Amino acid sequence: MKDWTVGHVMTKPAVSATETDSYRQVVTLLMEHHVSAVPVVDAFARVSGVVSEADLLRKIEYVGDGNSRLLEGRRRRQHRAKATARTAGDLMSTPAVVVGQHMTIPEAARIMEHDGVKRLPVVDDLGRLVGIVSRSDLLKVHLRPDDEILRDIETNVLRPFLADDAATISVTVLDGVVTLTGRVDRWSAADLVARLIRQLPGAVEVVSAVEFGFDDRELMPAGSRFGAS
């Protein structure tokens, strides 16, 4: 089966800043491209950090308040330092959270959720910036046409995993919802097919009404039993 990766859905070329770009240049970049953050790259196009609107707003937050406080915490001292920063290299937050272009979409979604970010720089095997992936980009898998999902099911699930039983299964796909009917020899075959289809990009839901001739659940090791739904 084809696993959709970040590289399939990312936006490219990526909008980025260089470490020497000025404060005003970074602000202009965000405004012109309607984004809330941009990766900062070094001379070799490797991601060295990210500048966000929050980083830029420190200059407004601390305007006229240049004196540091003796008992001030580390985070606040860092924020105050950014208020006087003039280049992207001094403004950026590090280390940058990045993903590889071969990472699967579910993995990228988990990183976004864990780190609380909406966009991730995408890098190649050498760490060079090749694109940007956003939350909306990850949702592109659910824009796959129904007929494309159907072909994927027939070619990459039914024929390889059901062999002779493939012809006994009827599949319909409507708005990403897959409905299965028919009959197979064993319960485990019906369960396997349903589980594999749920993993396909664009499959929103799988409704299985497939019947089976023999319930082989009791013959399977307890740890390998899966409940069909």
Half-sphere exposure of 61 (CA within 13 A, CB side): 14
> What pLDDT, on a 0 to 100 scale, did the predictor assign at position 229?
44
- Residue 121 half-sphere exposure, CB side, CA atoms within 13 Å? 27
- Determine if the pTM surpasses 0.75: no
Q: Provide the residue type at 129 as one letter.
A: L
Q: Which positions of the chain have pLDDT values less than 70?
A: 1-2, 62-81, 221-229
Quote the pLDDT of residue 217.
87
Tokens standing for 157? 């699930």
Q: What is the pLDDT of residue 154?
A: 93
Residue 165, token pair as written in the block:
């039983």
Q: Which of these, 132, 139, 128, 135, lies nearest to 38 by C-alpha position?
A: 132
Unique residue bearing structure tokens 């959270």: 97
Domain ranges, ordered by start, for the chain: 6-141, 144-224
The answer to whether residues 1 and 200 touch, using CB atoms and an 8 Å cutoff, is yes
Q: Which amino acid, one-letter code, is at 165?
A: D
**Sequence letter at residue 24:** R
CATH number corresponding to 6-141: 3.10.580.10
Residue 175, Ramachandran bin (φ over 0: left; ψ between -120 and 50: alpha; else beta): left
**Can 6-141 and 144-224 be said to share one CATH topology?**
no
| d(C-alpha 181, C-alpha 167), whole Å | 11
What pLDDT is attached to residue 170? Answer: 95
Q: How far apart are CA 42 and CA 48, in angstroms?
A: 6
Nearest C-alpha neighbor of 158 from the set 171, 145, 147, 146: 171
Domain 144-224 has CATH 3.30.1340.30: yes
Q: In the prediction, which pLDDT does 150 show?
A: 96
> pLDDT value at position 146?
96
Q: Which residues of 164-203 are buried (b: 16+ CB within 10 A; e: fewer)?
A: ebbeebebebeebebebebebebbbbbbbbbebbeebbbb
pLDDT of residue 228: 45
**pLDDT computed for residue 82 by the predictor:** 73
Per-residue confidence (pLDDT) for residue 3, from 0 to 100: 72
Give the bridge partners for 40, in sequence order.
Answer: 17, 49
